[in-house]
Amino acid sequence: VVKTEEFQREEFAAGIWNLEPEAILMSDINSGSVLSSWFEGASQRALSLLSELIRIPTVNPYSGDPDPSGEAAGQVFVAEQMRKLGASTESLPVPADVYKQGGIHGPRERSWQKRENVVGRFQFGSGRTRIIFNAHMDTIGASDYQGDPFSGKIEGDLIYGRGSSDCKCGLASGLLAIEALRTVESDLDCQIIFQSVVDEECNGAGAGTLACCLAGLKGDYAIVLDGSAGMIYAGCLGIATAEVSVTGRSGHGSIGGVSALEKLLIVKKAIDIFTEERRGRDPEVAVNVGVLNCGIAPWVVPNSGFMAVNINYDFNEALASQKAGLGFCGAEVRARFEELITATCADDPWLSKNPPKIVWVKDVQPFSIERDPQIDPAAKLIDAASDGFRSAWGRDVTVSDLPAWCDASHLCRIGKMPVVGMGSGQPGASHTATEYNCGMNVLQTANAVAQTVLRLGKA
C-alpha cells in the first residue's frame, strides 16, 4: 500500500500530537545541532588525533612483516585518550582458548601475550542504556606500503599511513563522538563501553572482540566503527580460509622429478571451477587466492607447493549448513571446495596417490541483525543509526550488508546484541600500499555516531 504524502504528513502530525513530546523533540533537534556545530569546528582535531594514532605502529604480529610491533603501544595511547574524556579503563586479556570457548573455528597456534584489549566506560547520567563502541587497534603489515607507513602526514584534508582507513580512523571517530557528546551530556542517560580490540586483521578471526563477548561485556546496542565511510551495515559475510599444500618429488632441473608447481596448478584449476561456480551464484561473494608459493630455483624441480585461499559465504549458506546439522558456518561451502579438488585430482596419477592437504585455518560466521531471530530490537537500532546518519551526512542511506567479514559478527552472534557498522575509512583505500583517508570521513562518521547515541541513549 502506497500512502500519499499528505496522509503520511497527517499521520506524523497525529503521532506528535498523541505523544505530546514537542519539548523533547525540540531539545533533540537542539542537541543534534549542538553536535553538528561542534564537529564543524573539529576538523583539525580529527586529523591530528588520527595522525597521532597512525604514528604509533600497531602492526599485527601475524602480518608477515619482518618486525611487527603488535598493538600494545597503541593501546596505552588510546586508554589515555579515553581517561581524558572521563572514562574508567581496564585491560581485558584474550584467553588462550578463546576460540574453543566461543565455539569458533579460529587459527591455531596464535598468541595474545602482551596483546590486551582496552575497555573504556563512559558514564552519561545514570548510564541506563548501554551502548558498545568497537574498533580494532591492529593493522595489516606495512612492509609493502609506498613511503613511510607511520608518517601520519597531513596534506589539506588528506592523511596518509597504515591504519588511516582501517581502523585507526574508527578509534578516532569513536573518541571524537564521545568528546562531542560531553557537550550535550544533560540530554543523555547511557553508558558507552568502548572496546579497542586486538587481532582483527591477518586471520585474527576477531579474537579480541570475541574475548570481550566472552567476558560478558553486553550492550543494549553495539556500534562497530570498522569499515568504509558513507554507509551503514547491519550484517556481514562469513569467511573460511583454506591452506592447500601439495607435495612433488624434487630433482635436478635437467633430469627431473615430479614438479609440485605443475601439480599446484592442477589444484588451482579446481579452485577456478569452484570460483566460477560461486560467481554464478553471487558475484559479490568473493573467492581470493591470496598466496601461491612454490619453487626455489630454475635448476631444481619444486618439491612442495602452497596456496592460501579466502572464501566468503553468505547468511543463506550458513543457514543451509545449520539445517544440515553442521552448525551455522561455511561447512557446506568447505565441503564443495574439497569435493572439487578431490574430483580434479582423481584424473592425475600423482595427485590421486598424493592428494593435496587442505587445512581450514578459520571459518567465522556471517551475521544479519534483521534475519537473526535472537536479535531484538534490531529495527530500533537501524532507525536510530539511519536518522543519525542523515543528520550528519545530509543524505539518506540504505542499510546494507558488508561484503566481507568483520568483528561485528561476534557481537551479534556470540554477544547476542543488535549491532550496526558505521566505519570511517576511505572506500577502497584499506589494505592498499597507499592507504590514506580524508578528515571529512572521520568527522562525518563521528557526527553520525554521536547523533545515533543521542537517539538511543536519550535521558
Site residues (CB under 5 A) for Zn ion?
166-167, 226
Distance, CA of 459 to CA of 449 (rounded, Å): 17
Q: How far is the CB of 166 from Zn ion (least distance, A)?
A: 4
Rounded to a whole number of angstroms, the minimum distance from the CB of residue 220 to Zn ion is 24
Measure the CA–CA gap between 261 and 292, rounded to whole angstroms: 10
Question: Smallest gap, in angstroms, from Cβ of residue 425 to Zn ion?
Answer: 8
Cβ nearer to Zn ion, comparing 167 with 197: 167
Strand partners, 258: 249
Please check whether residue 89 is in contact with residue 119, taking contact to mean a CB–CB distance below 8 angstroms.
yes
Let me know: does 449 contact 177? Beta carbons within 8 Å: yes
Nearer to Zn ion, 82 or 167 (CB): 167
Distance, CA of 155 to CA of 79 (rounded, Å): 28
Q: Give whichever of 171 and 181 is closer to Zn ion, judged by the CB atom.
A: 171
Q: Which is nearer to Zn ion, 368 or 430 (CB)?
A: 430
> What minimum distance in Å lies between the beta carbon of 165 and Zn ion?
9
Q: How far is the CB of 167 from Zn ion (least distance, A)?
A: 4
Task: Tell me the pairing of strands 399-402 and 232-236.
Answer: parallel
Q: Name which of 144 and 339 has its Cβ closer to Zn ion.
A: 144
Instruction: List the grid coordinates of 118.
Output: 582496552
Closest approach, Cβ 343 to Zn ion, in A, equals 36
Q: Least distance to Zn ion from the beta carbon of 251, Å?
A: 44
Grid cell at residue 84:
581524558
Identity of the residue, 371 or 431, whose beta carbon is nearer to Zn ion in the bound complex: 431
Q: How far apart are CA 228 and CA 441, in angstroms?
A: 9
User: Which parts of 164-296 are beta strand (E)?
Assistant: 190-197, 221-224, 232-236, 238-247, 249-252, 256-258, 287-294
Backbone phi and psi for residue 120, each to the nearest 5 degrees, phi listed first: -110, 135
Q: How far apart are CA 260 and CA 294, in angstroms?
A: 7
Q: Looking at beta carbons only, is 106 or 302 nearer to Zn ion? A: 106
300-301, strands of its sheet edge to edge: 256-258, 249-252, 300-301
